[in-house]
Structure 1
Amino acid sequence: MNYTPIPEDAIRQAIDAEAVFTEFHKTRKRARAYASGMYWKQEPEGEQLVKTLPHKRQERLGRRSPETEKIYEAYIPKKKEIEMRAATLAAEMDKHRRLNKALRVGRVPNIVVELLQELDNAGLSEHFTVVGTHALYAYETAAGVRILPAALATQDVDLLWDARKRVRFLAEMEKLQVSILDILRKVDRTFERKEGALETAVNDKGFEVDFLRRPNQEGDAHPFQLSNDENDLWVIQALRADVLTQSPKFERVVFAANGAMATMKTIDPQVFVEFKNWLATEAPNRDTLKRRRDAQQARIVQDLIEEGLLVPAKR
């Protein structure tokens, strides 16, 4: 058997924890709109309502008037309300992290969940899709099973960058004023760009993060570096990655071994099966051992689909 059922107590805890995580995530997104401040500033032409923005920017909302006073009076209590709700949910998240760990709800490598969290914190999660072996963690969580550990063994995670959203991505990176390597170093300060592989970051334990993209199409920028920082990572073209880019997305809250949670966005499970079968049988210059594991992973996910434990998108 390539997988076993998750214990009932772990399933119940996963359901409860996911509900709290979903509400926490929703509230945190709302809180971002109120993360700035708002105050009255005396200027020569009179009092101005000023809203503070990230990166030391400010926005003037207008001179003091009944309209701007209404804006201010609505903003302040709403900000306090959302902050209190976020704090309450954060405490609940801490409780569920401990329970997740105690009941062994998940086993995604901690570093992967932390990476997904940091991309989300930066507002960049929509631009990256987890592909390859780590997608199995999303599938097993959705199916309520534990996949055979040998099928999951890997020391790298592949992130597919969506070239179709290049303009928006560049605008967001410009606002953030950081590099992707900076974001990785919030997870582990030992991450460095790998010598001879500009698309790969590696830490001092040998764990790698690879950044992939679809083969170059008309309108795509090529080559492409992920920020203006000359030391940042590049994205490399991957064979048939256009199929993965166009795939329906499959999202699931996943659980780290330490109990932390994050949303993992990956590809549709049926697309995963088809792609892994292609790697196993047709991909050029594929290592024999990797072909064997590709075939094994495809069989596992196909079995989950056929047993009704995993539901692919309708195509």
Structure 2
Amino acid sequence: MPERIDLLYFSFKNNQNSKNKGKIMKYKELDNNQIRFLTDIRQTYQTFLDAKEDLARFKGSMKWKTTDSGIYLIRVLDSRGTEKSLGKKDTEKVKIFENFTSGKAQAQERLETLKSSLSRMSGMAKAADLGRLPAIVGKILRKLDDEKLLGEHIMVVGTHALYAYEAAAGVQFDSEMLATADVDLLIDSRKQLKLMITDPAIAESGILGLLCKADKTFKKLRTQTYTAANDQGFMVDLIKPALNPPWKKDALQESSENDLNPVEVPNLEWLLSSQRFSSIVVDTSGMPAKMVCPDPRAFAVHKKWISTQAGREAEKRSRDSFQAQAVIELSTAKFPHLPLRKSELSYFPNNVLENSTFNFDL
């Protein structure tokens, strides 16, 4: 079994002024050059994603089909060759065919141009030290986004969510705070995932099939069937909220035997109830990817709660507490649209909010 690398933290006090004394200042600001590169590549990537959406409108193809009763315009809907007749050839159908053909060609050309731009920009991003996210996680995120699973069905929780927060804030957390060899994917077990996957080659094996599209060496662990590991020892854990009541059935219990079996973790419904936080991050290959994770305030409160659990190892509890404090301080400083108010975190029990020791606004 691949070895899991635990995360170690090193904190320091910021003593530049009395206002910041006692705070865990665990990040540095990006310089102007880095901010410019990051802004450019994020904007280009968002344009690229929009172009992919435009091309998706032209999925499949159109053709003319001659039958005994005449010539018909046929829309080929998918790679399996599923066809739909749009009607007998006339002036209107010829226009539909021409608009489809030219529109698809233009959309493909625009997408290829943007791909080339991103490829050139990736080198600049690496040179500017913006490539932070492990490249394999970037590949996984792009595959999840291709299948429209990010956000509504799956989001990133745990340490890797810090990459989204730092990218959105224009800062970089201390590298020690981010070093980990596994990523946690939280899945919404209330929804049937298999029905959402459009690629038939992936649908049967679900998330594991998707991971293998990113890296063919991913395999499900025999002793930990919610975990997949690749040949480099990087692991992906698929987790879901514990059922309440425990005997309640969820949509994922009918998933394929070939797929990962998400493990139940208590109180993850708190994170699922939070508003989604989306950011474009850059991986170590210099390529951008969209990441969706919990509201940073929810992340911090949940991490703080985890740090108080007696059954958790002391070293991990300390790590969780540092992480929680760093994220809440970042959120307070950089995300004024996310005020630290109990009323906006009402999906947490009041005692959990109180025990977090965070300074909530009135």
Give your verdict on TM over 0.5.
Answer: yes
1:18 lines up with 2:42 in the alignment: yes
Unaligned runs of 5+ in 2: 1-24, 345-362
Question: Matches of 2:27 and 2:184 in 1, distance apart?
Answer: 23
Aligned match of 2:63:
39
- Structure having the higher strand fraction is 1
1:151-196 CA distance string (max 9 Å, x none)? 2121110001112332xx3322376342221211122221110121
The answer to whether the 8 Å contact 1:211/1:236 transfers is yes
Pair 52,239 (structure 1): closer, same or farther in 2 beyond 3 Å: same
Query: How much does 1:123 deviate?
Result: 3.1
The amino acid across from 2:124 in the alignment is L
Task: Specify the SS of the correspondent of 1:258.
Answer: coil
Q: Partners of 2:199 and 2:131 in 1: how far apart?
A: 34
Matched, 1:270 2:294: no
Report how far residue 309 of structure 1 moved.
Answer: 5.1
The equivalent residue for 1:185 is 212
Aligned twin of 2:252: 224
1:156 aligned residue (179, 182, 200): 182
Tell me if structure 2 keeps the 8 A contact 1:214–1:242. Answer: yes
Residue in 2 that maps onto 1:294: 320
Q: Following the alignment from structure 2 to structure 1, what is the Cα–Cα distance between the partners of residues 336 and 76?
A: 46
2:153 paired with 1:127: yes
| Shift of residue 65, structure 1, vs aligned partner | 2.7
Q: Is the 8 A contact 1:163 1:220 kept in 2?
A: no
Contact 2:77 2:84 in 1 (8 A): yes
* In 2: Cα distance, 1:300 partner to 1:182 partner: 35
Measure how far apart 1:68 and its partner are: 2.2
Asked whether the equivalents of residues 226 and 232 of structure 1 are also in contact (C-alpha less than 8 Å), the reply is: no
Check conservation: 2:280, 2:290, Cα contact below 8 A: yes
Cα–Cα, structure 1 residues 226 and 187, in superposed 2: closer, same or farther, change >3 Å?
farther
Higher helix share: 1
2:147–2:198 CA contact under 8 A, matched in 1: no
1:259 equivalent in alignment to 2:291: no
1:40-189 residue pairs with structure 2 within 5 A? 40-56=64-80, 57-125=82-150, 126-166=152-192, 169-173=193-197, 176-178=200-202, 179=205, 180-189=207-216
Distance change in 2, residues 1:306/1:175 (3 Å):
closer
- Percent identity of equivalent pairs: 34
Question: Which deviates more from structure 2 when the two are superposed, residues 268-277 or residues 104-113?
Answer: 104-113
TM-aligned CA deviation for residue 34 of structure 1: 1.2
2:186 & 2:47 partners in 1: Cα distance? 27
AA matched with 1:84: E
**Which residue of structure 1 aligns with residue 311 of structure 2?**
285
The count of residues paired between Structure 1 and Structure 2 equals: 311
Shift of 1:211: 0.8
Query: 1:104 is paired with a residue of what secondary structure?
Result: coil
Kindly indicate whether the alpha-carbon contact (under 8 Å) linking 2:280 and 2:289 is maintained by their aligned counterparts in 1: yes
**Stretch of structure 1 that moved more, 180-189 or 103-112:** 180-189
- Per-residue CA deviations over 1:255-313 (Å, capped at 9, x if unaligned) read 011101100000001001100010001x3521211111100001101111232357537
- Do 2:190 and 2:251's aligned partners in 1 also have CA atoms closer than 8 Å? no
State the match for 2:230 in structure 1: 203
TM-score, with structure 1 as normaliser: 0.92
Counterpart Cα distance in 1 of 2:99 and 2:216: 41
Kindly indicate whether the alpha-carbon contact (under 8 Å) linking 2:147 and 2:197 is maintained by their aligned counterparts in 1: no
CA-to-aligned-CA distance 1:182-217 (integer Å, 9 cap, x gap): 211122221110121111101122211011112225
Is the contact made by 1:142 and 1:310 (CA closer than 8 Å) also made in structure 2?
A: no
Aligned residue number for residue 333 of structure 2: 307
Distance in 2 of aligned mates of 1:227 and 1:260: 32
Partners of 1:106 and 1:175 in 2: CA distance:
29
